[in-house]
């Protein structure tokens, strides 16, 4: 298998992972019903799907924030278990969760360092939205990295779910999640 075939295979796998992670983030957004309450923080998630296991050159461990791999170590093993564990993590931990293209979740949650000025200067067409907070800005900029295939965030402020790919993003405000399949309230 040549390099192009391996990359295509990784991207095909990463799309399925991104879809499953986004679906989980949307589920958590929709099931939380206190978004409008003052001083209440909703669930928050930040996932990175990476091509290589070595991501030390752009991340730092975020203290004791860890994904409980004893409960869920691979995204696709059980969608229900993944959603259950993601729910716990979204309410109790902080940092980015690293997932490799085979769906393996890394235990240590991380802080992602900003890309170099050279990388950001090359991306002169990077579009920042005024609603983006620190996590979203980090995900957008990190999606420019060669080894990062995509990122998915769930905003703790308003339940917005966003996917990031190569310096672009697709935004799903909470009231638009699920589209025509969204359950009526």
Report if residue 124 sits inside a domain.
yes
Q: How confident is the model at residue 123 (pLDDT cuts 50, 70, 90)?
A: low
Report if residue 183 sits inside a domain.
no
Report if residue 22 sits inside a domain.
yes
Percent of the chain with pLDDT over 90: 56
Structurally, the chain folds into a number of domains equal to 1
CATH number at residue 156: 3.40.1700.10
Report if residue 184 sits inside a domain.
no
Cβ 47 vs Cβ 97: under 8 Å: yes
Alpha carbon 136 to its chain centroid, in Å, reads 9
Place of tokens 């359950």: 183
Which pLDDT value is given to residue 181?
56
SS3 content of the chain, % helix, strand, coil (to 5): 35, 25, 40
Torsion from C-alpha of 126, 128, 133, 136, nearest 10 degrees: -40
CA distances to 60, 75, 116, 119, 128 from 122, in Å = 24, 33, 10, 5, 15
Report if residue 128 sits inside a domain.
yes
Report if residue 25 sits inside a domain.
yes
> Has residue 37 got a pLDDT over 70?
yes
pLDDT in tens, 51-109: 877 888 889 999 999 999 999 999 999 999 999 999 999 999 999 999 999 999 999 99
Distance CA 147, CA 55 (A): 8
Q: What is the torsional sign of CA 163, 168, 170, 171?
A: positive
Report if residue 185 sits inside a domain.
no
pTM of the model: 0.87
Report if residue 125 sits inside a domain.
yes
- Range of 130's domain? 3-177
């Amino acid at each position: 298998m040549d390099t192009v075939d391996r990359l295509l295979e990784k991207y095909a796998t990463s799309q399925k992972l991104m879809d499953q992670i986004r679906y989980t983030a949307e589920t958590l957004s929709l099931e939380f019903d206190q978004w409008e309450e003052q001083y209440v923080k909703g669930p928050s998630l930040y996932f990175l799907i990476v091509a290589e296991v070595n991501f030390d050159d752009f991340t730092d461990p975020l203290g004791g924030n860890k994904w409980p791999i004893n409960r869920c170590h691979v995204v696709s093993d059980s969608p229900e278990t993944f959603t259950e564990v993601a729910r716990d993590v979204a309410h109790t931990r902080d940092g980015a969760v690293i997932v490799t293209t085979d769906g393996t979740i890394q235990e240590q949650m991380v802080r992602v360092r900003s890309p170099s000025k050279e990388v950001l200067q090359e991306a002169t067409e990077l579009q920042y939205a005024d609603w983006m907070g620190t996590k979203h800005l980090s995900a957008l900029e990190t999606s420019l990295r060669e080894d990062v295939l995509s990122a998915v965030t769930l905003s703790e402020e308003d339940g917005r779910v966003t996917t990031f790919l190569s310096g672009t993003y697709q935004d799903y405000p909470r009231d638009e999640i699920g589209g025509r399949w969204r359950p009526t309230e």
